[in-house]
Each structure stands twice: as structure tokens, then as C-alpha cells.
């Protein structure tokens, strides 16, 4: 008899626990889950992948007449990325910090350049951002270079050069020109190298070091890209 009572009491307790557990499951509100990141609104460059290459980086300073070229290159490239992404483009940056792209050792420069070429394999367009320098301080003005014999690169360079002149009003208006650069020679997509101005020119260097002018340069490059794509 005693054993039966214990058994019945235990069964009743288990049944009560089951009811309480069921009620709790029904009344507990689940914690909210993080909202998924919003999908960017389509823009004029939606579906276009562009590789932007800030020249030099890390120990490779580039031109150095006061400001370091590598730093100005990166600043302009970051501004350009913002413009392109706002227009819906996918952007590949070869670097987004002051980073060397090749370890010390034999053929470091060659390995650095090849890394940039490889980074552009999934892109439809390639732009390498640089600053110029010359032995005389009088030289000024942006200039865009492209590979000889590559028609799409020539058209892209022409559109960029036109917008750089229209947007920056440089003292000297240069023309887009062919150039023998490893990056341009080893890419089959439309590819250009943009020299945004001369750090050896004190007046132009002061502009290129300013955030406002860097944003202006980036916007004119963006405008040139839009012009090129609209005219294709």
C-alpha cells in the first residue's frame, strides 16, 4: 500500500511538472534576432565590379616630397570606394590600410605588382591611383595612362582625363597617354593608372594633402567612370 501511494504521488508530481513546463514554453517570448543587413538600393553602377588600387603601401612609400605618396593614394582610393559603393558598384581594394603587399625578399616589387593584378581577376574595370613627381616644381596637373592597343582602356582613360580637367581645373591640362606599366600590361580588362597630380609642385601638393581636395579628386574619377560606362 505504501509503495503504491509513493508511486501515485511521484506520477502526480511528474504530471504537474509537465503541465508547468508546457505553460512556460507557451508564455516565454523568444529573444529578438539581429535584423539582416539591408540590401543596398540599386544604383547606376549596380552589377559592376571595380578594382581600385592605391599605389605603394607599407615600406614602399612612393614619391615623398613632404606628404608620402602612399598615404595620399590610399586617402583618394577610400573616398573613391565610398562614391562607387553609393552608386551600387562592388569595389575590390588591393589594400585599405598602410600595408605592404609583398614580403621582403627577392623580386619584392614584382610580387607586389602581381598581387595587385591577381586582385583584379574578378573585376570588370581596374584603376590604379598614384601621385606624380618631377625634378622641377613647375610641373602640375593630373594625367591618366593606358596600355597601347587596348581600345576600351583608351576610352576609359579619355573619359577620366576629361572629367579630371573639368572638375579640378588644373593649371596645366594634360592628355591621356599610353604608358608601359606592369599592371596595365598584365590585365585584359579596361585598366588605367591615374596620376592625380604632382607632389613635387608645392601648390598642388598642398591641395592633394587636403581631405576636401582628395574627395574632389575621387568624385571626378567617379564621374569619369560613369561617363565611360554610359558611352559604351
The percentage of the chain sitting over the pLDDT mark of 90, rounded to a whole number, equals 73
205-216 residue pLDDT tens: 999 999 999 999
130-142 residue pLDDT tens: 999 999 999 999 9
Q: Are 215 and 79 in contact (CB under 8 A)?
A: yes
Q: Are 192 and 157 in contact (CB under 8 A)?
A: yes
pLDDT of residue 37: 34
Q: What angle do CA 198, 100, 193 make, to 5 degrees?
A: 40
Q: What angle do CA 175, 177, 178 make, to 5 degrees?
A: 175
Cell of 101: 603587399
The bridge status of strand 125-132 relative to strand 191-198 is: parallel
Q: Are 75 and 66 in contact (CB under 8 A)?
A: no
Within 13 Å and on the Cβ side, how many CA atoms surround 5? 2
The long-range contacts involving 82-87, CB below 8 angstroms and separated by at least 24 positions, are 82/218, 83/218, 83/219, 83/222, 84/45, 84/50, 84/52, 84/222, 84/225, 85/40, 86/43, 87/43, 87/44, 87/45, 87/46, 87/222, 87/226
pLDDT of residue 178: 98
pLDDT of residue 32: 36
60-98 residue pLDDT tens: 565 555 789 999 999 999 999 999 999 999 999 999 999
* Averaged pLDDT for residues 43-59: 93
Instruction: Please name the residues in contact with 152: beta carbons below 8 A apart, sequence gap of 6 or more.
Output: 189, 190, 232
Q: How confident is the model at residue 182 (pLDDT cuts 50, 70, 90)?
A: very high
Average pLDDT of every residue of the chain: 85
Instruction: Report the C-alpha gap between 48 and 45 in whole angstroms.
Output: 6
pTM above 0.75, yes or no: yes
Instruction: Map out the domains of the chain with their CATH numbers.
Output: 49-231 (3.40.630.40)
Instruction: Report the C-alpha gap between 230 and 224 in whole angstroms.
Output: 10
Amino acid at each position: 500500500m505504501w509503495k503504491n501511494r509513493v508511486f501515485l504521488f511521484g506520477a502526480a508530481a511528474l504530471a504537474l511538472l509537465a503541465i508547468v513546463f508546457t505553460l512556460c514554453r507557451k508564455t516565454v517570448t523568444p529573444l529578438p534576432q539581429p535584423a539582416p543587413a539591408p540590401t543596398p538600393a540599386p544604383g547606376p553602377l549596380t552589377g559592376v565590379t571595380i578594382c581600385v588600387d592605391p599605389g605603394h603601401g607599407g615600406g614602399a612609400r612612393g614619391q615623398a616630397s613632404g606628404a608620402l605618396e602612399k598615404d595620399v593614394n590610399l586617402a583618394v582610393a577610400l573616398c573613391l570606394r565610398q562614391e562607387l559603393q553609393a552608386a551600387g558598384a562592388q569595389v575590390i581594394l588591393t589594400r585599405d590600410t598602410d600595408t605592404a603587399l609583398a614580403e621582403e625578399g627577392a623580386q619584392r616589387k614584382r610580387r607586389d605588382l602581381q598581387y595587385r593584378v591577381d586582385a583584379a581577376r574578378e573585376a570588370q574595370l581596374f584603376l590604379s591611383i598614384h601621385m606624380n613627381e618631377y625634378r622641377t616644381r613647375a610641373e602640375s596637373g593630373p594625367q591618366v595612362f593606358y596600355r597601347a592597343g587596348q581600345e576600351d582602356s583608351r576610352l576609359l582613360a579619355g573619359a577620366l582625363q576629361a572629367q579630371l580637367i573639368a572638375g579640378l581645373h588644373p593649371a596645366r591640362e594634360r592628355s591621356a597617354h599610353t604608358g608601359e606599366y606592369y599592371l596595365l600590361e598584365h590585365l585584359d580588362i579596361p585598366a588605367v593608372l591615374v596620376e592625380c597630380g604632382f607632389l613635387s609642385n608645392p601648390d598642388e601638393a598642398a591641395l592633394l594633402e587636403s581631405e576636401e581636395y582628395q574627395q574632389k579628386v575621387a568624385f571626378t574619377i567617379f564621374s569619369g567612370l560613369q561617363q565611360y560606362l554610359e558611352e559604351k
